[in-house]
Structure 1
Amino acid sequence: MTPLASASAQSRDNRDSRAEQRQERAQKAQRQDRRQVRQEARTENRQGRRQVRQEARTENREERRDVRRDARVENRQDRREVRRDARVENRQDRREVRRDARIDNRQDRRRDVRQDRREDRREVRQDRREDRRDFRQDRREVRQDRRQWNRLWNRGWRNDNRYDWQRYRYTNRNLYRRGNYYAPYRNHSYNRFSIGLFLGSAFLADRYWINDPWQYRLPPAYQGTRWVRYYDDVLLVDVYTGEVVDVIHDFFW
């Protein structure tokens, strides 16, 4: 081989070597960029979920005095939205992982996909545990608040002459003849309820409500409770928990 040919061959080898090095550096930079993008996306997802859960817990603590059905519905909607957003983001992350993995070789693709799936499943399980823990805590706080409010019910209204229902019933007998009582369940038998027991939700239907307590000389029910008829008895019931707050037996004829 002549010196000119040898130099030409060596120049081509040098160019090929530099091209391969540039290609390897480009591939390595692409992989690093993709890993950084996935890491930033996961970090933002975690921060977003933590912020949403923190805001939900703060709102729940501030609104414990007005514990009603709307609060529970909003909490459920918030948690559904958080889980829905997490699922959508996880799907998008997995799609990006699969799309980027096709560019790499099979070994790197399998390793990255498996690792990302493990991390995604681990994060989803952790988020579900935290959501269940928050839900149980919120429900426990709601029950405690409701029980405290029920204990504050003043049963001394019986000493108030305005609510002397017995004397009023003596002069208005027909008003207290409500007719037959039809239980929501077939073959249901009467149970004598007392304060602190719980009435089933079926017995809280609006057809059992006493919409005008003053008509029977009963005190008004405070927020979250209702006077309901149960056979010939009348019960003051917490509509959220079903707890019996006050009871008058043999109220109706």
Structure 2
Amino acid sequence: MTFKELLTAGSASGLALAMALIALPSQAAAAAAVTATATADASAAVAAQDRQQRRQARQERRGNRGQARENRRQRAAVAPQRAQRAPQVRNERRADRVERRGDRRANRADNRSERRANRVERRGDRRADNLRDRGADRRANRVDRRTDRRADRIENRGDRRANRIDRRSERRADRIENRGDRRAQWRNQDYRDARRAQDRRDYRQDRREARRDYRQDRREYRRDRREARRDYRQWNRNQWRNDRRYNWRSYRNSNRGIFRIGRYYSPYRNYSYRRLSIGFTLGSLFYSNRYWINDPWQYRLPEVYGPYRWVRYYDDVLLVNTYTGEVVDVIHDFFW
């Protein structure tokens, strides 16, 4: 190869090398351009999405403002009606408070007179029983009649006072409610409000009648209880022991197994036996139905009526007034 050919070949190689070196930066620039284009497209998509979200948010705010405007219009339209009914509602609530307060006062008066009458009756019963124990039956009967009359006077006085309180509170409640009705009529009360007021009056009238019926039932209950107590007084606790039909001692000697009824469980854990006598007042748990002697004749005990029950108390038998808890008769060491 001549020198001229060598130069020619070298020039060609150099030119190729130069062109290769120039081509490498051009490819890198193209790749960078592609990456920049993709980034710009993504940024444009994000910006478009943000614009769409802002547009939706503006539309929602516009809708909310429209709804709030409509709500304000409705409240403005209803406000006069509420302002018109507000005094009537206040008067109804005030009338209810007056009636409830009157009910509480009437109940307190009724309960106070009933407690006082019960105290008078218990005191008279003890005095009459003491007289009968000494054989003064005629004096005991006079004490019974005098006690009953005094208890009746006390209860009747309490009933009259409770009725006066009821009527006074009802009249005051009616005045308050009628005042509200007249004001509503002056303000052009519509049919619906008038109907509502009438229903309210009917409800209160029904409640008053129910309250009167309840008090009447209580009076009849007390009257029945007093009559039962009078019937019991005709049965003398000393007289039945002289009746041979109720000779429980002889019957127990020949029927010992009947009088072995198992262990007695006190209603209170730490309670121990105490010997009780006539006139003692028991707690209600001691004469609950689990301690009742449901068949007195099985043990040759007489039948009792009204509020009285034969009750087991350890090995003793008590005759208890279940209304008051008072012990009116005792048989010690009855069971084995």
TM class by shorter-chain length? 0.3 to 0.5
TM-score, scaled to structure 2: 0.36
Determine which structure has greater relative contact order: mean sequence separation of CA pairs < 8 Å that are 6+ residues apart, divided by chain length. 1
TM-score, scaled to structure 1: 0.47
> Considering only CA atoms, is the larger Rg found in Structure 1 or Structure 2?
2
